[in-house]
Amino acid sequence: MLRFSMSGQGSPTIVMFSGAGGPLEGWFKLFPEIEALGTVVTYDRPRIGGSARAREPQLGTTVVLQLRALLREIGARPPFLLVGHSFGGLHANLFARVYSDETCGVLFIEATAPDDVLNMKQYRSTLQRVVAGLLDRFSPPDPNDEISNELETVAEIGEAPDFPPIPVTVISGGKRLPRWMASREALLERERNQEALARLSPLGERIIARGSAHFPQVSEPHVVLEALSKLVARTRSQSPA
């Protein structure tokens, strides 16, 4: 059973994909203003917040199918405007490809790109590697959770249909992380990958949230709401008359 919230009304249906381990409450600073833009659906993926533990490996296709079933069950209707933060960006990316006929736009917020999963670990510092090793030792990862299956999710994105030519906005945090948290090489890789997300569609654009690091929806909710409002307008202008 997945815990969810649905509020607001009208079209589009704005579907929120939280980052790994992030409960639906993480979007609280966007409310109630976001509800003026359409119907808003937030939810907890398995083992997060109020949702039950995952019974099967949380590959990207599993997550997407679970969400699609939830949307149908609660009567949430397309077109869907997807909002993906951090790891949830992978799921939004895959959903848009699989259900392109139901997806009208995507807002990526500090979103994980496929190449982040494939390349970023090589840039981890010695301290980061030690901390990660200790965490794995004292709190072994669940083989069913989404992080344990991230490589399979990336492979599924690569095998899915092309990303549709729909309006896309990428919001990237502009605050520079300390060197011990992210090396220059890691920052350059991340920059390339954020640009690549904006290039998924010929209608892609990128915004820098200057006062934010990884959580613009918390530190600068006005930036996210403004970008989302403009994206909604762009999707409506692209819709057939």
Per mean pLDDT, which range of 104-113, 174-183, 195-204 is the poorest? 174-183
Within 29-182, strands assigned E span 39-43, 80-85, 103-109, 168-173
Cα separation, 114 vs 87, in Å, equals 10
H/E run at residue 180: none
Is residue 37 pLDDT above 90, yes or no?
Answer: yes
Is residue 240 pLDDT above 90, yes or no?
Answer: no
Residue with more model confidence, 134 or 106: 106
- For residue 241, what is the DSSP state? -
> What's the whole-model pTM score?
0.93
Cα separation, 21 vs 45, in Å, equals 8
Phi/psi at 103 (nearest 5 deg)? -105, 125
Cα separation, 198 vs 41, in Å, equals 24
Give yes or no for a contact between 112 and 189, defined as CB atoms under 8 angstroms apart. Answer: no
CATH 3.40.50.720 correct for 4-235: no
The whole-angstrom distance between residue 120's C-alpha and the CA centroid of its chain comes to 17
